[in-house]
């Protein structure tokens, strides 16, 4: 996790599933009020199941409660397809690169 000018970047990697989703949610909701924007760098994520989707939704709601926003960045084609199928990209902005997510 890193902070850059009010933006927190959380880098996820590997598989986000029932075992790892709670750690992702903890990282995304830790210190909620510290950053107005949290960017989730998904470039290292190879797989995401419904547990990961639920963690992202919960983090999105937590950020909104604290007046913040969540952004997704650089998902692999497989993860991007999963996010699109469930409609998450209609709710949480998803950017093709980390640079794009940070530039908004």
Give 77-101 pLDDT, tens digit per residue. Answer: 999 999 999 999 999 999 999 999 9
State the CATH class of domain 2-103: alpha beta
- The phi, psi pair for 28, rounded to 5°, reads -75, -25
* pTM greater than 0.85 (yes/no): yes
Give 26-39 pLDDT, tens digit per residue. Answer: 999 987 556 789 99
User: Which bin fits 96, alpha (ψ -120 to 50), beta or left (φ > 0)?
Assistant: alpha
Domain boundaries, the chain: 2-103
């Amino acid at each position: 996790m890193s902070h850059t000018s009010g933006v927190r970047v959380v880098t996820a990697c590997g598989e986000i599933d029932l075992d790892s989703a709670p750690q992702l949610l903890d990282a995304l909701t830790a210190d909620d009020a510290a950053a107005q924007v949290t960017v989730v760098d998904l470039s290292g994520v190879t797989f995401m199941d419904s547990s990961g989707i639920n963690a992202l939704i919960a983090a999105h709601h937590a950020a909104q409660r604290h007046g913040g926003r969540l952004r997704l960045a650089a998902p692999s084609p497989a993860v991007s397809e999963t996010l699109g199928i469930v409609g998450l990209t209609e709710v949480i902005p998803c950017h093709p690169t980390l640079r794009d997510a940070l530039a908004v």
